[in-house]
Amino acid sequence: MEITRLAEELGLAVEDVRSLVLTFLDSTDRDLLLLEQAFSEQDAEQVRRIAHHIKGAACNLELTAIAEAALAVEKQARSGVLLDPSSRVALIRTEMDSIRTRLERGG
């Protein structure tokens, strides 16, 4: 994720994009908790909806690794088969931590 390039593409100030990314991270933290709850309840439709939401928001911010992981969860849920998403959730969290670290360093 290149904040400066993304800001130029969106026609926004760099600080506005940073704010959007931070909002995404906070929202996704909550979404991941809901995703895990929906999975524990074996609610495939809710899992699909949450994963779709994460994927869409990540795509808008060009957060490819997060979008791909969420897409994999969404596809599973759409098929009605709920396999343990913990590895995908862990990947999303790891990527989010990396983004937070880059933002804290001014990147």
Per-residue model confidence as pLDDT tens digits over 19-48: 999 999 999 999 999 999 999 999 999 999
d(CA 93, CA 51): 13
60 token code pair? 């808008």
For the chain, what is the radius of gyration of the CA atoms?
Answer: 14
Mean pLDDT across 87-105 = 90
Domains delineated in the chain: 3-104 (1.20.120)
The model's confidence at residue 55, banded by pLDDT at 50, 70 and 90, is very high
d(CA 82, CA 42): 7
For 50, residues 6+ apart whose C-beta sits below 8 A from its C-beta are 31, 34, 35, 38
pTM: 0.87
